[in-house]
Chain A
């Protein structure tokens, strides 16, 4: 077995969290060798699609405690409050650091950083770069990372498994797409920064690359996944494509209207309609409540039917062309190019769309997983600051704060950890043979990828959508076992070594099946409704039984085991979530 290289720290994923971690490692210990292993060129990473903004307290009328409270109540008290306190404290520093690195933040006329309102936030604290905030953050991070010569990139390398020996993670086995080589990249520490898994759902804002890779890698290596039942539906996606129409539309004053032109959110405990946006009210309520209100509105027959499902309307017309062009130019571009609609004069059809995973690889406040040498940050991880429902504009600062934390922690660990052992090379060789035998060279299977993926999608949408029930989840659990079994009989059509995207898609589908099972099993066990997890058979929050994080482990036979651990409460005892008053 070849070892392509030895590094001190390997990062899997080159998006916002991965690049921030890479820079943090380089600055913590310049002697460490850092590898960024990413299945796409870093600037293609999905951070690029984030639109609305990035929260961090900067204004004198705001406070860290208020950001913490908004985050914790927004998360329906499932957030670990020590993690939230660290997060809100470090978020402004991280955003400022990005300013010093050149991020083109939008400005006030006097040159200071501008902030905008965002859903569930009681103060204006969301920094933004028009409505391409993720794009600008990612490119700033990527361009800045080019300064650091200790950062070696493995662009278009797909990490297929973790190397674990002696209870320690010691690298990855990765497939180089261009050549088809499968090699070991060993390291003292690995940080998973692969983002979310929206692609387990059929209708999602997530890019094609969001397959839960890092979650599955950790899960298979024995690390638990935390709070996987909490899947965020963003209330405003374009029908058919699922393209995200940012919440910033509503912070700038957009209305959500039903088929009668009525601002229906007033019927769902979110306050009274005012002409101007009111913080933590109506269209600026949290995403879980807004997506749930859509379902109820549909049940009342007050949505609009389209060939791509029911929609409501997002109305920006009263904002005027100038505001739309300066604050929401990407939204206008997306509507014009993909929906053939001009939001200056027309209503935008929108519907809820799977968007973000609150859950992920279980880590502590430093990004460390229970598995020695393994770290995770960003959407792939669950620290947890997002609890049962993430507030809009908290994910971008999260990947900075916890990317940097994981980077520093991994650097400290790698500075004194033992070298990888030779036993992992035998493991890597086994993994290479497995990939060749079971996928690349196999010709006699009866299953194809696309139908299996379609069935996974249907099952996830029917069982783990905005509203769930024990029955539908139990059925999905059986179905996913069946799909896992059928996956063993997949045969590829493509047996080429060169840039074999079918092979990569098979590895991704296999990851998605594991992650899908983890979501369904966690959702089935949580017999309560909290945040984004709404059970029709258990409609109330149950703090007695479930003020706890779920941890899902993979058993040796591939099945799941769910355990619970307490939520850390520091200063904000569980209370009622109040919006609009």
Chain B
């Protein structure tokens, strides 16, 4: 294996450049190194002006998502040697505005997360003195998969619908709504259904399934969206065909 590899990295400083360009850097490529190690090597040794986000380096904080050779990836979990002999093209996540270099603007995503009311909604809160809400392992399993989302936004970068229509709520936000809807402690499904049943909610999804393929945590947002569509359609049918008063 070659002991060095070329990174082709997106560079963009809005104060200096009108358009993003690529710049090449040659970095070491030991078998333990991930793409993020290569970027950090650039930052420390070759070019202090490169900006990228990262933190935990163990695939749980969700900071370091980028496009690596055309695919959305967590760069801390993507080995350089898998791309030998190179070059490796590292770009910011697709479908988001670029702030600078490899850093994208995620304000829209953050608003969408909050929009689906991702918290436990109950008619009546049980006092702490009465202890926990019982929840069997099976009840936990009903929503657990959807609680694994690390908000890395790889699914938004992979989603062709979000790329065309930024109003689409998108995979992670819908999966998060589903995480609470399916939680046996929650009673907020109806409230969330109203938010999600609008055009930009779940109907935007054409079931391409790229979100599920891109997800590094096996959350399966595509599955969440399909389940939700079915539920919403049934509710709609019920509204039409069942006489009022009999619901």
Residues of A within 8 A of B (CB): 40-41, 43-46, 48-49, 93, 96-97, 99-102, 104-107, 109-113, 132, 135-136, 139, 143-144, 146-147, 155, 178, 207-209, 240-241, 243-244, 330, 333-334, 337-338, 448-450, 492-494, 496-502
Residues of B within 8 A of A498 (CB): 13-15, 99-100
The answer, among A111, A449, A497, for a CB contact under 8 Å with B134, is A111
Bound form: Cα–Cα A407–B6 in Å: 49
6 tightest A-B CB contacts, nearest first: A111-B134, A493-B48, A450-B44, A143-B118, A494-B49, A102-B120
Bound form: Cα–Cα A96–B131 in Å: 7
Task: Mark each residue of chain B from 84 to 127: 1 if its CB lies under 8 Å from any CB of chain A, else 0.
Answer: 00000000000000011101011000100110001110000110
Size of the B side of the interface (Cβ < 8 Å), in residues, is: 60
- Distance in angstroms from A116 CB to nearest chain B CB is 15
Residues of B within 8 A of A (CB): 13-16, 32, 43-45, 47-49, 51-63, 77, 99-101, 103, 105-106, 110, 113-114, 118-120, 125-126, 128, 131-137, 139-140, 143-144, 147-148, 150-151, 176, 180, 183, 185-186
The answer, among A113, A207, A496, for a CB contact under 8 Å with B16, is A496
Q: Is the Cβ of B133 less than 8 Å from the Cβ of A100?
A: yes
Residues of B within 8 A of A450 (CB): 44-45
Residues of A within 8 A of B100 (CB): 496, 498-499
Q: A146-B113, A240-B32, A448-B48 are in contact. List 10 more A-B contacts (CB 8 A).
A: A44-B56, A48-B61, A48-B150, A93-B128, A104-B147, A106-B140, A112-B134, A139-B147, A241-B58, A498-B100
A109, A143, A144 pick with most chain B CB within 10 angstroms? A143
- Distance in angstroms from A329 CB to nearest chain B CB is 10
Q: Is the Cβ of B120 less than 8 Å from the Cβ of A40?
A: no
Q: Is the Cβ of A41 less than 8 Å from the Cβ of B133?
A: no
A334, A449, A496 pick with most chain B CB within 10 angstroms? A496
Residues of A within 8 A of B118 (CB): 143, 146
The answer, among B47, B54, B150, for a CB contact under 8 Å with A208, is B54
Residues of B within 8 A of A449 (CB): 44, 48
Q: Is the Cβ of A338 less than 8 Å from the Cβ of B58?
A: yes
- Contact A40 B131, CB 8 Å, known A102-B183, A499-B103: no
B47, B51, B131, B150 pick with most chain A CB within 10 angstroms? B51
Q: Is the Cβ of A207 less than 8 Å from the Cβ of B57?
A: yes
- Distance in angstroms from A356 CB to nearest chain B CB is 15
Bound form: Cα–Cα A209–B137 in Å: 35
Bound form: Cα–Cα A355–B165 in Å: 44
Q: Is the Cβ of B137 less than 8 Å from the Cβ of A109?
A: yes
Q: Is the Cβ of A111 less than 8 Å from the Cβ of B15?
A: no
Q: Is the Cβ of B119 less than 8 Å from the Cβ of A147?
A: yes
- Distance in angstroms from A568 CB to nearest chain B CB is 28
Q: Is the Cβ of A155 less than 8 Å from the Cβ of B110?
A: yes
Bound form: Cα–Cα A450–B48 in Å: 9
Q: Taking CB as reference atom, which chain B residue is nearest A334?
A: B58
Bound form: Cα–Cα A41–B119 in Å: 18
Residues of B within 8 A of A109 (CB): 136-137
Q: Taking CB as reference atom, which chain B residue is nearest A180?
A: B15
Bound form: Cα–Cα A154–B129 in Å: 35
Q: Is the Cβ of B57 less than 8 Å from the Cβ of A208?
A: yes
Q: Is the Cβ of B60 less than 8 Å from the Cβ of A337?
A: no
Residues of A within 8 A of B16 (CB): 496
Q: Is the Cβ of B128 less than 8 Å from the Cβ of A96?
A: yes
Residues of A within 8 A of B110 (CB): 41, 155
Q: Is the Cβ of A44 less than 8 Å from the Cβ of B61?
A: yes
Q: Is the Cβ of B136 less than 8 Å from the Cβ of A99?
A: no
Q: Is the Cβ of A337 less than 8 Å from the Cβ of B77?
A: yes
The answer, among B51, B62, B132, for a CB contact under 8 Å with A112, is B132
Q: Taking CB as reference atom, which chain A residue is nearest B128?
A: A96
The answer, among B44, B59, B62, for a CB contact under 8 Å with A337, is B59
Residues of B within 8 A of A147 (CB): 119
Residues of B within 8 A of A146 (CB): 113-114, 118-119
A43, A110, A330, A449 pick with most chain B CB within 10 angstroms? A43
Bound form: Cα–Cα A46–B120 in Å: 24
Residues of A within 8 A of B52 (CB): 501
Q: Taking CB as reference atom, which chain A residue is nearest B176?
A: A143
- Contact A135 B99, CB 8 Å, known A99-B132, A100-B133: no
Residues of B within 8 A of A494 (CB): 48-49, 51
Bound form: Cα–Cα A499–B60 in Å: 23
Q: Is the Cβ of A102 less than 8 Å from the Cβ of B15?
A: no
The answer, among A44, A105, A500, for a CB contact under 8 Å with B55, is A44
